[in-house]
Each structure stands twice: as C-alpha cells, then as structure tokens.
A = this chain, B = another copy of it.
C-alpha cells in the first residue's frame, strides 16, 4: 500500500482555501519527485492522501530532515506571499507517494489536521 502525506503548519492559522491551495502545491511537487513505480501503484490504489498538522516550522523541518534521510521524495512549500502570508513563509510539506511502511516511520505519530 502507498500513500502521500501532506504536513500543514497549524500555527499559521491558514483558512480552508489557503490550506487547500498550499496542500495542492505540496502534493503536486512531491508527486513529481516520487519514484515512477511508486506513483503507478499509488494511482492504481486510489491515490491515498493523508493531511496532518504540526505545531510550527521546527516540527515541519524535523520531519523533512527525516524524509530526506530515508530518501523519500518530498517538497517544502514556501508561500509566494501574495495574499495572507509573508513571502517565503514555509507552509506545508509533501512526502511521497511512497510505501506505507517507509512513510509511516516518520509520520505515524502525527495527528490529522
């Protein structure tokens, strides 16, 4: 089984639309960096996506570092700063699609947003 995990900073208090746009950005960029075989399996299974929340940038970046160490595909979204946030603000992190057992090693203790 495969999944993609999208990690959202809760401390920015982004509204629903902003969160959705940033999550879509994270999802697409992580997807583009994923292993083609993993993507194919993930799509065949229905493209499972989990959206989780973290309390701040420190927690988000710690998860990013662990994704990097495990050679998982990931992408950190920095906001363009055109609406609610300062330009360059880290908002979300996309990881995968990757095998559950790998991605769960770094995201299993995170709570759904």
Contacts and interface: CB of A to CB of B under 8 A. Distances in A.
6 contacts: A18-B51, A20-B113, A23-B24, A25-B47, A28-B47, A46-B80
Interface residues of A, number: 28
A58 interface: no
Contacts of A24: 4, 6, 20, 23-24, 26-28, 49, 51
Given A16-B16, A16-B113, A113-B16, A49 B31 contact: no
A107 interface: no
Contacts of A28: 24, 27-28, 31, 47
A112 B21 CA distance: 11
